[in-house]
Amino acid sequence: MARFRYAYQKVVDLKSSEKTQAEWLLSAALGILHSEESTLQKLYEERAEWCQRLQDASQTAVPLSEILVMQQYVDHLDVCIMRKLTDIKKAQREVDERRAFLSDKMKDEKVWLKSKERALDRFRAVVQLKEQNELDELATVRFIVPAP
C-alpha cells in the first residue's frame, strides 16, 4: 500500500514551530507583566507602611525634620508607583501584542494543518478507488474465466 507524503510538510512544521515560538514570547511577556505587578504591590505596601509611620510620628514628639524626611520618602514612593503603573501599561500592551501574534500564528498553523488533512483525505480516496478497481478487476476476471 502506498504511503502518504505531504508535499508541504516542511511548511506545516515551520508553522508549528512559529506557533511554539509565539507561545514562548507570550509566556515571557506574561512573566514580565506579573513581575511588574508584584513590584507595584510591594511599592503600595511600602507606601502604606511609611504613611502609617508618618501618622504615628505626627502624633508623637518627633522633630519636624524627621517628619519632612518621611514625607519626602512617601512622595518618592508615589513617583515610583506612577512609573511602575506606566511600566505595567507597557507590559500589558506587550502581552496584548504577543497574544494577537500567537493568535495569528495559530490560525496560520490551522490553515496548513487543514490543507494537510484535505490532502490526506484526497489520498485516501484515490487509494480506496484503486483498491476498489483492483477488486472489481479480480471479480471480473473470476467471472469471465470459469474455474477448471
What are the pLDDT digits (tens) for 44-103? 999 999 999 999 988 888 888 999 999 999 999 999 999 999 999 999 999 999 999 999
CA distances 54 to 48, 68, 103, Å, are 10, 9, 49
pLDDT (tens digit per residue) in 117-144: 999 999 999 999 999 998 888 878 777 7
Cα–Cα distance, 6 to 119 (Å, whole number): 7
The answer to whether 36 and 87 have CB atoms below 8 angstroms apart is yes
pTM of the model: 0.77
> Which of 101, 99, 96, 110 shows the shortest CA–CA distance to 15?
110
